A = this chain, B = another copy of it.
Amino acid sequence: MKNLDNLGRIILASQSPRRKYILKKINLDFKVIPSDIIEDFDETSPSTLVQTCAFEKAKKVSMDNLNNLVIGADTVVVLDKIIMGKPRNVNESREMLCMLSGKTHKVFTGVSIQNINKNINELFYSMTEVELHIIPDNIINYYIKNYEPYDKAGSYGIQDWFSSQIKKINGCYYNVMGLPLSKVFKCLYDLSVNNLND
């Protein structure tokens, strides 16, 4: 794995194990420094919200790591006009899954890639539609009890047991997991950060 020295080691400004997993798919060498910003943004559109939040997460870590390339990301689930973040408890979890059952929702992930000293400031988002089967109550209860999806926007993980309830998606799969991989790859490739020399 090679990074161009002048862009510095890559930092993922997120503690999500799923984002780590996704970046490892492309054999990227990076370290993790979670940003501890308070996610309290008043944006009207989901695409603006996730980009603003991703930018602030990356900026917070970039300020202490001016020579590094920092990646920040934020994901929300949107059903009609309702924006869902992470459920706070079992009741919110059940409420979210009941609302999503049998319907098509949208997953937005915003991504910010910054290197302050090199004046790099890439910002983009990706949207994927996800259609769920109608999920009976006993399946919702089984899932919440066994998988405790409290750290996931919309209260489900597309990569875990819940995948059995997903009828189809339209868009980038990894975007639903938390990071639109092919867009991130292309951005890094255009910045000459790649590992194709291995």
Cα–Cα distance between A170 and B171 once the two chains are bound (Å) = 6
So how many copies of this chain end up in the complex? 2
Cα–Cα distance between A27 and B162 once the two chains are bound (Å) = 11
A100 to chain B, nearest CB (A): 14
State whether B165 touches A182 (Cβ < 8 A).
yes
Q: Which residue of B lies closest to A167 (CB)?
A: B182
A19 to chain B, nearest CB (A): 14
A122 to chain B, nearest CB (A): 16
Known A138-B196, A186-B133, A196-B138; judge A167-B172 contact (CB<8 A).
yes
Cα–Cα distance between A185 and B185 once the two chains are bound (Å) = 33
What residues make up the interface of A, taking CB atoms closer than 8 Å to B? 25-27, 128, 133, 138-139, 142, 146, 158, 160-161, 163-174, 181-182, 185-186, 196, 198
Question: Closest 4 interchain pairs by CB?
Answer: A164-B185, A142-B196, A170-B170, A173-B173
Q: Which residue of B lies closest to A173 (CB)?
A: B173
Cα–Cα distance between A185 and B167 once the two chains are bound (Å) = 11
Among B142, B163, B166, B170, point to the contact of A168 (Cβ < 8 A).
B170
B-chain residues with CB within 8 Å of residue A139 when the two chains form the complex = 196
Among B25, B133, B161, B168, point to the contact of A164 (Cβ < 8 A).
B25
State whether B186 touches A163 (Cβ < 8 A).
no
A170 to chain B, nearest CB (A): 5
State whether B163 touches A25 (Cβ < 8 A).
yes
Cα–Cα distance between A196 and B142 once the two chains are bound (Å) = 6
B-chain residues with CB within 8 Å of residue A164 when the two chains form the complex = 25-26, 181-182, 185
Known A161-B27, A164-B26, A169-B173; judge A146-B198 contact (CB<8 A).
yes
